[in-house]
């Protein structure tokens, strides 16, 4: 009897963050039917620093979504115990709510977004309690993905970060500021990013114990903090059963910075192209992993290795300062490596 009420669709996407919205948008543009399911009734429920690099692996953020870009900055300032290091690294400051709402508006031209509907579990390819069966399921449901669980893929390691907004910050508004000091937080950093009307301020650590140690002190600077886990690992396996993973669910993140907005959108584009071929019987599920690895795997790998080496090998804050100063001098070279395919 149950199956009489089951909805069938080509593609079911779980999660309407940057990854899920991007998959839906690209599928829609290619004429592929989908349904997008989001547990919250509003977008941007998870906190974020709202910053991204404008170009990664040959992709430009402007080609993905130009709504919600508030500012383009040319420099990052890194504050260590031994001084300030200014690096020529371009970044975009986003209004993530605006960005996600605009993406949703475009998605709705092509298909349905079920808001306020949580997928509780998946069994034999059927999403519950919605009773939706899809030829392919896309897990874009973040770091504690229910789709990943269904696929039997191991969870990535996670860190934790919290964020708020401040009005008055006495710092240079033309720079995105990163505080890398053990007396503020270990195995992580605090940030001050200048937005149009206020500052996005936050603190996070790759290890929960250090976040718990440092946050009580830091939280005094503001109110209304929001916190969340983020993947702090190399990418997981991203295919299995009749499903693929995109974004935080597969740890598609620049691990050194905990930055996953744009990387998840890039993998989403690759996923949508792959899904088209998969549905025509021209690709196997495992091809998806080869495809995103070819495009952006190197950037994920190097970023993960950089984060491991930075924290494990450079034990003294002075050594870190010296290394960061050297990197900053060659920041153009490092940024080019990130930009290139
Ligand atoms: C405090 C903090 C600050 C950050 N700052 C930055 C930054 O400045 N720049 C950057 O690039 N990255 C940042 N990140 C990381 C970035 O937020 C993520 O990498 C990015 O959001 C990944 O997008 P996603 O769509 O894969 O996952 P998410 O943004 O987590 O979206 C997943 C969506 O799935 C929904 N969902 C989850 N489970 C279910 C379910 N069972 N059923 C239905 N819906 C479900 C969620 O509600 C959510 O909307 C930050 C992370 C944190 C925690």
End-to-end CA, the chain: 51
Average pLDDT over residues 237-252: 98
Which residue from 260, 300, 307 has its CB within 8 A of the most atoms of ligand 1, so it is best to mutate?
Answer: 260
DSSP 80-144: ETTEEEEE---EEEE-HHHHHHHHHHHHTTTSEEEET----EEETTEEETTTEEEEEEEE---TT
Q: Which atom of ligand 1 is least distant from the CA of 161?
A: 1
* Closest to 105 in 3D by CA, of 46, 43, 15: 43
Average pLDDT over residues 34-44: 97
* pLDDT attached to residue 309: 87
- Atom 10 in ligand 1: residue holding the nearest Cα: 259
Is the Cβ atom of 119 under 6 angstroms away from ligand 1?
Answer: yes
Is the Cβ atom of 200 under 6 angstroms away from ligand 1?
Answer: no
Q: What is the pLDDT of residues 71-114, one digit of tens each?
A: 999 999 999 999 999 999 999 999 999 999 999 999 999 999 99
Q: 178 with 79: CB under 8 angstroms?
A: yes
With both helix axes pointing from N to C terminus, report the angle between 261-279 and 285-292 in degrees, rounded to the nearest 10. 140
Q: What is the pLDDT of residues 124-181, one digit of tens each?
A: 999 999 999 999 999 999 999 999 999 999 999 999 999 999 999 999 999 999 999 9
For residue 66, what pLDDT band results from cuts at 50, 70 and 90?
Answer: confident
Q: Is the pLDDT of residue 27 over 90?
A: yes
Q: 40 with 116: CB under 8 angstroms?
A: yes
Q: What is the pLDDT of residues 262-292, one digit of tens each?
A: 999 999 999 999 999 999 999 999 999 999 9
For residue 2, what pLDDT band results from cuts at 50, 70 and 90?
Answer: very low
C-alpha torsion 97→99→103→108, nearest 10 = 40
* Closest to 272 in 3D by CA, of 28, 9, 14, 104: 28
Range of the domain at 67: 2-339
Q: Is the pLDDT of residue 245 over 70?
A: yes
Is the Cβ atom of 48 under 6 angstroms away from ligand 1?
Answer: yes
Query: Which CATH number belongs to the domain containing residue 103 in this structure?
Result: 3.50.50.60
Q: Is the pLDDT of residue 240 over 50?
A: yes
Ligand 1 centroid to Cα of residue 248, in Å, is 6
Ligand 1 centroid to Cα of residue 263, in Å, is 12
Q: 15 with 24: CB under 8 angstroms?
A: no
Instruction: Work out the mean pLDDT of the chain and round it to a whole number.
Output: 95
Q: Is the pLDDT of residue 333 over 90?
A: no
| Phi and psi, residue 170, nearest 5° | -90, 70
Q: Which atom of ligand 1 is least distant from the CA of 163?
A: 1
Is the Cβ atom of 21 under 6 angstroms away from ligand 1?
Answer: no
* pLDDT attached to residue 1: 41
Q: Is the pLDDT of residue 324 over 90?
A: yes
Q: Is the pLDDT of residue 3 over 70?
A: no
Average pLDDT over residues 172-200: 97
Percent of the chain past pLDDT 90, that is, above it, reads 89
At CA 160, angle to CA 293 and CA 313, rounded to 5?
A: 65
Domain count, the chain: 1
Average pLDDT over residues 311-333: 89
Is the Cβ atom of 50 under 6 angstroms away from ligand 1?
Answer: yes
DSSP 11-35: EEEE--SHHHHHHHHHHHHTT--EE
Distance CA 145, CA 137 (A): 12
Q: Is the pLDDT of residue 331 over 90?
A: no
- Atom 4 in ligand 1: residue holding the nearest Cα: 48
- pTM over the 0.85 mark: yes
Q: Is the pLDDT of residue 25 over 60?
A: yes
Percent of the chain past pLDDT 70, that is, above it, reads 99
Ligand 1 centroid to Cα of residue 171, in Å, is 28
Q: Is the pLDDT of residue 4 over 70?
A: no
Q: Is the pLDDT of residue 26 over 60?
A: yes
Beta strands 199-205 and 158-166 are antiparallel
């Amino acid at each position: 009897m149950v199956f009489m009420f089951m909805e069938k669709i080509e593609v079911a996407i779980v999660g309407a963050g940057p990854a899920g919205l991007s998959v839906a948008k690209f599928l829609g543009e290619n004429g592929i039917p989908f349904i997008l399911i989001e547990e919250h009734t509003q977008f941007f429920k998870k906190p974020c620093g709202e910053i991204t690099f404008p170009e990664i692996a040959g992709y430009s953020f402007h080609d993905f979504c130009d709504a919600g870009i508030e500012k383009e900055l040319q420099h990052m300032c890194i504050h260590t115990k031994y001084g300030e290091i200014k690096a020529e690294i371009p970044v975009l400051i986003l209004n993530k709510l605006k960005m996600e709402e605009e993406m949703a508006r475009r998605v709705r031209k092509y298909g349905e977004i079920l808001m306020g509907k949580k997928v509780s579990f998946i069994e034999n390819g059927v999403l519950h309690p919605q009773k939706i069966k899809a030829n392919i399921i896309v897990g874009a449901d973040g770091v504690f993905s229910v789709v990943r669980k269904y696929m039997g893929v191991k969870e990535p390691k996670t860190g934790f970060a919290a964020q708020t907004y401040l009005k008055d910050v006495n710092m240079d508004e033309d720079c995105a500021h990163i505080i890398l000091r053990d007396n503020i937080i270990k195995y992580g950093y605090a940030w001050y990013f200048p937005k149009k009307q206020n500052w996005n301020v936050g603190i996070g650590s790759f290890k929960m114990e250090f976040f718990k140690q440092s946050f009580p002190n830091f939280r005094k600077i503001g109110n209304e903090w929001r916190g969340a886990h983020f993947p702090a690992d190399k990418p997981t396996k991203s295919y299995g059963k009749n499903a693929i993973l995109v974004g935080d669910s597969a740890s598609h993140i620049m691990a050194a910075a905990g930055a996953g907005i744009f990387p998840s959108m890039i993998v989403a584009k690759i996923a949508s192209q792959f899904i088209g071929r998969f549905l025509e019987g021209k690709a196997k599920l495992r091809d998806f992993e080869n495809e995103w690895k070819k495009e952006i795997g190197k950037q994920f790998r190097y970023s993960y290795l950089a984060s491991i080496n930075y924290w494990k090998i450079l034990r003294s804050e002075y050594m870190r300062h010296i290394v960061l100063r050297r990197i900053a001098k060659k920041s153009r070279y490092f940024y080019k490596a990130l930009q290139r395919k």
